[in-house]
Structure 1
Amino acid sequence: MPVALPVTLYPDEPMARHSSWRAGGTVRYYAEPATPDEAIALAAWAREQQLPLIWIGRGTNLLVHDKGFDGVIAAYRGQRWELIEHGETAEVWIEAGAPMAGTARRLAAMGWAGLEWAEGLPGAVGGAIVGNAGCYGGSVAEVLIAADLLLNGSECVEWSVHDLAYTYRESVLKQLLHADIPPLVLAGRFRLQRGDPAALTARMKAIAAERKQKTPAGSSCGSVFKNPAGDFAGRLIEAAGLKGVRIGDAEISTLHANYIINHGQARAADILALIDLARTKVAEQFGITLQLEVRII
């Protein structure tokens, strides 16, 4: 292992520490680069070692198989941001490691609207850009101007929102996650409008209260499946009679059937078994194939 590598490598790292499901196997090397130069150096090292490299966000929609991953998993941690005002509008540049919800709260308190829908949204800016995160009447695709990317582990480029080809919970970046050196989101530029801080804070408090009421307690990755057109995955799973079904220490939530809860000692295999069960039963009873919203490694 070259000592000159400017980012710390953690060997045999349990990925349960880096998944909000608190489950999953180990990775051969884990790292947290915080600058583009560190990410470039890590990608070059992985290529030299002939190790596959996977970029992740904050692990809020991630599950690593119990058998682990024989390569490098890295989470980009840069959190700088810069606000450029244009009278009643503004652009905010935010690095990919910044928390989506925390950044939205800070901007709302300053009187800037555009990201308040992200109150309570788990995960970081980079993951939200990759997956076109959205909730409560808003989405990344509606406010993103462009994203700074690292391509092939060495080339820093800017892609416009149109280049990202967004659809519901999808982007061209998501389709490239299985490349040898997948693209890494370094930062995003978002469009904002001036708003009343008190009104924005009130709206975010209302969103937080509604989210708390609907969100099951316990370790989970949020919604497991995308909502099929014209329907809701949770409704279909509940209608299939699967609420409360448990395998090992994993359970399809009794509050919201599109959540799978780890009650403490669930293995990735338990969660995956419930995923397969939900898919199978919904397909058998309703002819609908549920598509995953979470990422499986």
Structure 2
Amino acid sequence: VTLPPRLRRISTSLATSRISGTNLLVSDAGYRGAVVRLAGEFKQFVYEICCVEAGAAVPLARLASDVGQRGLAGLDFAAGMPGTVGGALVMNAGAHDSVIGDLLTEALILDEKLKLHSFAAEDLGLSYRKSNITSGFVVCRVKLRLSQGEKEIQERKCGQYLRFRRERQPHQPNAGSIFKNPPHDSAGRLIEAAGLKGRRVGGAMISDLHANFIVHCGNASAADVRYLLEMAREEVARQFGVNLELEIRLLGY
């Protein structure tokens, strides 16, 4: 994995890795720290034979679309997925029984002391919506292993996944899936079964399309969202004995 020449300009004040604000709830009181947005070389990607090397700031959905248009297979599950490549690796993002970690061959990561490290997938503790990439570490570039497919088939698969996402997930502003799915069940089903689908507090509402999303209906505060997610977690635990684990991350709390 090659190193962008601007990398050394990143400040030591970097404290946390986030997916362009997706999967993130920031306190109404704000966050005491620096927010750095990667750009330039971090938004570029290049191909080798059945591999793509991408900067951390490349939008994941854009990369998935480009990969499919080239007839390469492997990243179609990410069609329409929000966030960036770097943040997706931190969360080991995925859908349709696939995750980005399955494709990873190498990741270039900056530590708190501005030292670069090259990691293989097995070094990163990748599991369901989780990695061992901790606060203070920043994903800079990744190399993903793809396979040769047929352009028509890959474009069709990307289109199918994109339609699936549009039909089954809310269109209103939201932070993504609130909870991780528990083993052999789904958080959305449990929240709906608890009678909370469509429940509203202030300007936030548990989506009436998919109960594992909390949507912004106008003038929502972080406190409104936090209240609803805690309500959902408590009711699911009370009614079904299942402790839901957050998929979104809280910042400033």
TM-score with structure 1 setting the length: 0.80
| Percent identical residues | 37
1:140 paired with 2:100, answer: yes
Per the TM alignment, residue 72 of structure 1 is displaced from its structure 2 partner at its CA by 1.0
Instruction: Check conservation: 2:92, 2:99, Cα contact below 8 A.
Output: yes
Corresponding residue of 1:166: 126
Deviation at 1:118, TM superposition (A): 0.6
Corresponding residue to 1:67 among 19, 29, 36: 29
Counterpart for residue 244 of structure 1: 198
For 2:7, the aligned partner's letter is P
Cα distance in 1 between the residues matched to 2:205 and 2:228? 8
Equivalent pair of 2:17/2:90 in contact (CA under 8 Å) = no
Distance in 2, Cα, partners of 1:54 & 1:166: 18
Q: How far apart, in 2, do the equivalents of 1:72 and 1:120 lie? A: 29
The reply to whether residue 54 of structure 1 matches residue 8 of structure 2 is no
Alignment correspondent of 1:80: 44
Q: Secondary structure at the match of 2:164?
A: helix
- How many aligned positions are there? 246
Q: Deviations over 1:21-68 (max 9, x none)?
A: xxxxxxxxxxxx9931222xx11xx3xxxxx73332311111110011
Mapped to 2, the partners of 1:274 and 1:123 lie a distance apart of: 23
Question: Could you give the per-residue CA deviations for residues 192-249 of structure 1, whole angstroms, max 9, x where no partner exists?
Answer: 1111111100111111111111011201112100000111000110111101111100
The answer on whether the counterparts of 2:110 and 2:116 sit within 8 Å (CA) in structure 1 is: yes
Paired with 1:295 and 1:34, the residues of 2 have a C-alpha distance of: 31
- Report which structure shows greater RCO (CA 8 Å, sep ≥6): 2
CA distance in 1, matches of 2:246, 2:237: 14
Which residue does 1:264 correspond to in 2? 218
Mapped to 1, the partners of 2:55 and 2:113 lie a distance apart of 17
Decide whether the 8 Å contact of 1:252 with 1:274 is kept in 2: yes
* Counterparts of 1:212 and 1:278, CA distance in 2: 24
From the superposition, tell whether residues 34 and 168 of structure 1 become closer, same or farther in structure 2 (CA, over 3 Å). farther
Cα distance in 2, alignment partners of residues 160 and 55 from structure 1: 19
Classify 1:261/1:110 alpha carbon distance in 2 versus 1 (closer, same or farther; 3 Å).
same
Q: 1:112 aligns with which of 40, 54, 72?
A: 72
Contact 1:237-1:278 within 8 A present in 2 as well:
yes
Cα distance in 2, alignment partners of residues 169 and 54 from structure 1: 16
Q: What is aligned with 2:109?
A: 149
**What whole-Å deviation, never above 9, does each CA across 1:81-108 have from its counterpart, x for those lacking one?**
12111xxxx2211000001111111111
**Paired residues for 1:86-97 under 5 Å:** 90-97=50-57
Q: Give the counterpart letter for 1:151 in structure 2.
A: D
Give me the CA root mean square deviation. Answer: 1.5
The structure whose Rg is larger is 1
Indicate yes or no: 2:9 matched with 1:35.
no
- State which of 146, 154, 167 in structure 2 corresponds to 1:213: 167
User: How far apart in 1 are the matches of 2:201 and 2:5?
Assistant: 38
- Secondary structure (helix, strand or coil) at the match of 1:241 reads coil
Equivalent in 177, 188, 207 of residue 223 of structure 1: 177
Quick one: distance in 1 between partners of 2:202 and 2:6? 40
Partner of residue 236, structure 2:
282
- State how far apart, in whole Å, the 1-side matches of 2:5 and 2:59 are: 14
Residue 165 of structure 2 aligns to a residue whose secondary structure is helix
Q: Which has the higher strand share?
A: 1
Deviation by residue 1:154-209 (Cα, 9 ceiling, x = unmatched):
10111110001111111111xx22xxxx1000011100111111110011111111
**In 2: Cα distance, 1:55 partner to 1:192 partner:** 25
8 Å Cα contact 1:57-1:76 kept in structure 2 = no
Where structure 2 has 5 or more consecutive residues not aligned to the other structure, the ranges are none
